[in-house]
Amino acid sequence: MATTADVENVTHAPAEPARTGLWKRPLKNTGLVGWLTTVDHKKIGILYAVGALFFLLLGGVEALIIRAQLMFPEQEVISARTYNQLFTMHGTTMIFLAVMPLSAAFFNYIMPLQIGARDVAFPRMNSLGLWCFIFGGIILNLSWFFPGGAPDVGWFAYAPLTDRQYSPDIGVDFWIMGLQILGIASLVGSFNFITTIINMRAPGLSMMRLPLFTWMTLITSFLVILAFPAITIALIQLMFDRHFGTFFFNVEGGGKPILWQHLFWIFGHPEVYILILPAMGIISEILPVFSRKPLFGYPLIVFSGAVIGFLGFAVWSHHMFTTGLGVIATTAFAFLTMLIAIPTGVKIFNWIGTMWGGRIRFTTPMLFSVGFIWMFMMGGFTGIMHSSPPVDAQQQDTYFVVAHFHYVLIGGSLFALFAGIYFWFPKVTGKMMSEFVGKIVFYVMFIGFNLAFFPMHILGMTGMPRRTHTYKSGMGWEQSNFWSTIGAMILGLGVALFVIQIIYTCFRGRRTNGDPWDARTLEWVTDSPPKEYNFAYTPVVHARDQLWENKHGPDSRKMERIAPGPHGIHMPDQSWWPLILAIGLFIACLGMVFHGEPAWWGEEARYGLGITICGLLITLGSIYGWALEGPGGFHLHPDPKEYDGALPAPESSHGHH
Amino acid sequence: MQRFSALSTRLAALLCSLAGLLILAGCSLNIEGKQSALDPKGPVAQNQYDIFIITLIVTVFLFITVGGALGWTMWKFRLRKGDDPRYIPPQTHGHPLIEIGLVAGSAALLVVIAIPTFGGILLKKNVPLHLVEDAIEVNVVGYQWWWAFEYPEHGFYTANEFVIPAGRAVKLNLRTRDVLHSFWVPKLAGKVDLIAGQTNFMWIKADEPGYFYGQCAEFCGDSHAYMLFRVIAKPEAEYRRWVRDQQRQTANLNPDTGPLYAPLLARDQWAYPEDKVLRGAEVFARACASCHSLNPASQTNGPNLAHFATRTTIAAGWMENEPDELFRWIREPDKVKPGNFMWTGFLRYNPETRTREVEMAGLDYYDLSDNEIEAVVAYLYTLR
């Protein structure tokens, strides 16, 4: 903290824009330019959330079409090819474009506030992550508009189905490049969050005082930077197989298709925890607030989160129990998978312990949180079942697994993320979402969700495989499929109602004070919505639930405040470069997708590499522009009333000017 | 306060709806379905079912205890009407003994699952000693989107359904000719994948004679949903007769001894007029024989049809083997099974043109008339 502050004080320009770059850094922080060039973690968080909710709706519509097709046996609502494209895009969209960015939205918006920081460590990199996410989503979905259409190989894209021999169309290329650019988004964001949490905590906020959500942000970010390189490598290999005639996964040239599965799942299983750990963090914030008690067993919850992170890298082959692994490998991965149930169970015990003896208010965020515990528990139980390879042999690739991971990802992740939205919405907008409507949304979603996914357990155990676009009548699957579709529609209705409620509340919501829930952590100390600089003063933390101690604790544990120095608060300048760099990557990726394809106008001419090189030149140029535009920055002087009664700034912050 | 007062009614409504869901689920609970893993008919499936039941008991126990604690906590400590919402409960931070106890308890429960799991892993990989003596061997090869079954001990091939002797173990060697597939007959055993470039092993045994449904369980492209098969377990004597029959030629494969592909079945057993059947043989020779072998001892790009008339299904288990269905299948295979090579011909990707080119022509090319198709149908039913 101290060093960062010193560096800023030494190097930042006076309160005027830097002029060393190609062009001036933009100053306008409103309107379109304001949003496109923003480096403010709060605006970036909001853009992440809007993007993620858009893709959530898109993925949801895809799911509803899938369910419509399966409502009755031997239907032809859509073709087999379209169905395969839909489930591929549904999975990819929900994982990479809905749940991950929605988590990232919370990381961005809430985490810096929870640690009393003014922004993340690298504001422009944060912006780059956002734009890579947006362009990655665009690349993936552009595939629908080209001949051959979207990828139809599943979100797991098992070789050799992805080989040109079996998938000659460019859908797979869109998928490869889309995921590649989304990987950059996740990696950039994660390095940023780790640096921020380690270096920019408020004075006194030791690691074991961190709010649980911030802890889970940290662990998730480590998972991302360790897991994503595996898929990045796999995607590059696949790209070379498809474009340059290599044989990484092609048996005819001596390649091994099973290699893809190992690379994919050593990314893919940590990915599961990348999706669920933020949700657990959110729940661990909400339960204490509405139980009016601190988190039960805080150190154990932190520790079990870390253990889940570690073990998450040691269980990937449980996705491959049916691929003919040897007895030793199968047994080892089975037992490690069972082990992971223990830290997960610990979390559930501790959440119950948190509520135990409390005074529980069943507000909308609390209902979603409790709903999360129930549904996540159900998903956990089925997870215990297929941790056993003999049981898994019957369940793998059936609707039982579909039920399992939707219980974990909708009943788990999504319910928690919705809980987080209801909980922090007043923080972000200063407006309250209606409790009445919120509860209706919860019950509609809860009932729809269970009706949609509970019958799938039975479908799976009675033999219905996944990823089949239809099924024979007379197999005993009719009723479950029918009710599942009805449930999915009810769930869709709940989500639609939720989105309408958000839009309505943005415009017409009731204004609220800074702390409507009687919350416990630092983000609620400042205004709702927070000003650009988050905190007018530097908070000095003395306790884990600092806001709660401020309100109810002894004087010795109350927060102190340090006023800003005479030069005010140093703020980072906005920048065009992250957006331009992302556009460069976007063009490079598109060039790679079309590499070697005949031109649109049907001539023999091939293009692609040229476009890729142009895109990479833009990217490279942006990196130079980025580096050369200088640190920039300006000073803000908050109204002294905002830090009324704060301790004066220490001498060191005066010294440099 | 007011807005929490209706909580108990809400909770009650929630419980009712949950109960309703379970009842609904119960209604559709048809565990003896044709392809149900909950209705095991062989030792491997039985073992997997038993371990499933153990996990079910453990998780139901956990659901009752953990879920019970959760439900009770929600009920007992809720903010009630008349409570002071500003009341501050004791700010307890945890209790090491409780936490260690719960960790130890859950670990113990996992051991209950882990031990039979290890037994199950071993069982699936190895045929038990008392069954190994008289086990038979079948090679399974997956294709987009059908199955070839080879009996290496007897030297013949069949497709999409195969017969096994009830009460004897069957060793399966699993391979694929193109993408990944997965061999799954839920009533006999859990699935094992067919992986390009390697041979996987599994074994099955049907305790009693029966007709078992199987299906590909690994996504394998357009018509993955249509890649079904059957396993038919017969009593020992019937099985031996079936093996003997399958080795027999059904069509004349030697041009010196008569018209090529002329049926060898006695004329009085033909169900169709003679001229139609013979014309069917000609059409078959022209449009079908490049992919479909009529020699039980050889396998080409398409399913072996030497004993077609003895099979119960067509189109890889998707349709019943009836003349009308067969006519529709030959007339528009692309509509029945999209992406199917029987229509487009076998396609091979050419890196030069960036497209897939026809390597072996399909019915799209031969453009058979309805009359010709009827003749082929008549002919195919003489192959038994």
Residue B223, H or E segment: none
pLDDT band at A514 (very low <50, low <70, confident <90, very high): confident
Q: Among A381, A386, A394, A404, pick the best mutation site for testing chain B contact (most B Cβ within 10 A).
A: A394
Query: Quick one: closest CA in B to A466, which residue?
Result: B217
Domain residues of chain B, as ranges? 31-79+90-247, 253-380
Query: How high is the pLDDT of residue A31?
Result: 85
Identify the pLDDT of residue A285.
96
Region at A355 (left for phi over 0; alpha for psi -120 to 50; beta for the rest): alpha
Q: How far is it, in rounded angstroms, from Cα A279 to Cα A413?
A: 5
- The CA-atom distances, in angstroms, between B232 and each of A398, B87, B165, B206, B217 are 23, 70, 8, 9, 19
Which of A160, A370, A475 is closest, CB to CB, to B179? A160
* Minimum CA–CA partner of B338 in chain A: A80
Spatial distance between the Cα atoms of B257 and B259, rounded to a whole number of angstroms: 7
* Neighbour count for residue A152 (Cβ, 10 Å): 26
Q: Which of A462, A486, A545, A606 to mutate to test the interface with B (most CBs of B within 10 A)?
A: A462
Give the whole-angstrom CA distance, residue B84 versus residue B79: 8
Could you report how far apart the first and last alpha carbons of chain A are, in Å? 20
In the predicted model, is pLDDT for residue A428 greater than 60?
A: yes
| Cβ partners under 8 Å of residue A326, min gap 6 | none
Q: Which residue from B29, B197, B215 is facing A465, i.e. has the nearest CB?
A: B215
pLDDT tens profile A569-578: 988 889 999 9
What part of B 134-153 touches A (C-beta under 8 Å)? 144
pLDDT in tens, A203-217: 999 999 999 999 999
Q: Please count the residues of chain B.
A: 384
Q: How many helices (H) and strands (E) does chain B have?
A: 12, 14
State the first-to-last Cα distance of chain B, in angstroms, to the nearest integer: 80
Q: Where are the domains of chain A?
A: 40-535
What mean pLDDT comes out for the span A486-491? 97
Q: pLDDT value at position B99?
A: 85
Q: Give the span between the Cα atoms of A167 and B339, in whole angstroms.
A: 11
Residues of chain B with pLDDT under 50: 1-5
pLDDT at A363 over 80: yes
How many CA atoms are closer than 13 Å to the CA of A166, on its beta-carbon side?
A: 24
User: B294: closest CA among B258, B268, B322, B264?
Assistant: B264
Give yes or no for a contact between B264 and B281, defined as CB atoms under 8 angstroms apart: no
In this complex, which of B70, B91, B354 lies closest to A352 when CB atoms are compared? B70
pLDDT at site A650: 80
| Number of C-beta neighbours around residue A655 at 10 A | 11
B62 at interface of A, judged by CB pairs closer than 8 A: yes
The pLDDT, as a whole number, for residue A630 is: 76
Which residues are CB-neighbours of B80 under 8 A, at least 6 positions away?
Answer: none
Burial A270-303 (b: 16+ CB within 10 A, else e): bbbbbbbbbbbbbbbbbbbbbbbbbbbbbebbbe
Identical fold, B31-79+90-247 and B253-380 = no
B368 touches chain A (CB under 8 A): no
What's the pLDDT score for residue B18? Answer: 65
* Residue B9, pLDDT score: 58
> Which pLDDT score, from 0 to 100, does residue A1 have?
37
- CB of A524 within 8 A of CB of A427? yes
- Please report the pLDDT score of residue A4 as a whole number: 41
Going from the C-alpha of A307 to that of each of A273, A284, A312, A588, B322, the distances in angstroms are 11, 17, 8, 39, 59
Q: What is the pLDDT of residue A248?
A: 95
Would you say residue A18 has pLDDT above 80?
no
- How many angstroms away from the CA of B190 is the closest CA of chain A? 4
Distances (CA, A) of A344 to A277, A308, A338, A406, A643: 10, 7, 10, 17, 42
Q: Which residue did the predictor score with more confidence, A365 or A24?
A: A365
B67 to chain A: closest CA residue: A374
What was the pLDDT predicted at B27? Answer: 53
- pLDDT for res A603: 53
The number of CA neighbours under 13 Å toward the Cβ of A486 is 12
User: What's the pLDDT at B258?
Assistant: 86
Residues in B closer than 8 angstroms to A258, CB to CB, are 195, 197-198
pLDDT of residue A8: 41
- Cβ(A64)–Cβ(A56) under 8 Å? no
| Percent of chain A whose predicted confidence (pLDDT) is above 70 | 94
Q: Which of A612, A599, A619, A592 is nearest to A177 (CA)?
A: A592
Whole-number mean pLDDT of chain A? 91
Q: Which residues contact A570 (CB under 8 A, 6 or more apart)?
A: A8, A9, A12, A633, A634, A635
Search chain A and give the residue with CA nearest B25: A455
In Å, what is the CA distance from A611 to each residue of A415, A492, A591, A592? Answer: 42, 40, 5, 8
User: A110-153 pLDDT, tens per residue?
Assistant: 999 999 999 999 999 999 999 999 999 999 999 999 988 899 99
Q: Chain A contact for B91, CB < 8 A?
A: yes
Residue B382 forms contact with A (CB below 8 Å): no
Is the CATH number 1.10.760.10 carried by domain B253-380? yes
Give the lowest-confidence range in A93-97, A241-245, B212-216, B302-306: A241-245
ipTM: 0.92
**Full-prediction pTM beyond 0.90?**
yes
Peptide bond into A160 cis (omega under 30): yes
What distance in Å separates the CA atoms of residue B330 and residue B316, rounded to the nearest whole number? 13
Nearest residue on chain B to A324, alpha-carbon basis: B200
> pLDDT digits over B19-39, tens only?
666 655 555 556 678 999 999
Q: Which residues of B touch A341 (CB under 8 A)?
A: 106, 110
Cα atoms in the 13 Å half-sphere on the side-chain side of A558: 9
- Please say if the pLDDT value at position A72 is more than 60: yes
- Topology at the third CATH level for domain A40-535: Cytochrome C Oxidase; Chain A (1.20.210)
For residues A331-346, give the mean pLDDT: 94
Contact A458 B192 (CB under 8 A): no
List the structure tokens of A642: 């905002």
Mean pLDDT across the stretch A521-528? 93
| DSSP reduced 3-state for A138 | helix
The answer to whether the Cβ–Cβ distance between A389 and B117 falls below 8 Å is yes
- Quote the minimal CA–CA distance from B32 to chain A in Å: 8
pLDDT at A643: 87
Instruction: Select the residue from A90, A461, A478 to test the B interface by mutation, using most B Cβ atoms within 10 A.
Output: A461
Among the four given CATH numbers 3.40.50.620, 3.40.190.10, 2.60.40.420, 2.40.50.140, the one describing domain B31-79+90-247: 2.60.40.420
pLDDT at A6: 39
Residue B63 burial (CB count, 10 A): 15
Count of beta carbons in the 10 Å neighbourhood of residue A185: 27
> pLDDT digits over A282-330, tens only?
999 999 999 999 999 999 999 999 999 999 999 999 999 999 999 999 9
The residues that bridge with B189 in the sheet, in sequence order, are B185
Residue B28: its pLDDT value, please? 53
Q: Residue A335: its chain B contacts at CB < 8 A?
A: 114
Predicted confidence (pLDDT) per residue in A445-485, tens digit: 999 999 999 999 999 999 999 999 999 999 999 999 999 99
Whether residue A390 and residue B123 make contact (CB cut-off 8 A), yes or no, is yes
pLDDT at B325: 96
- Find residues 208-237 of chain A whose CB sits inside 8 Å of chain B: none
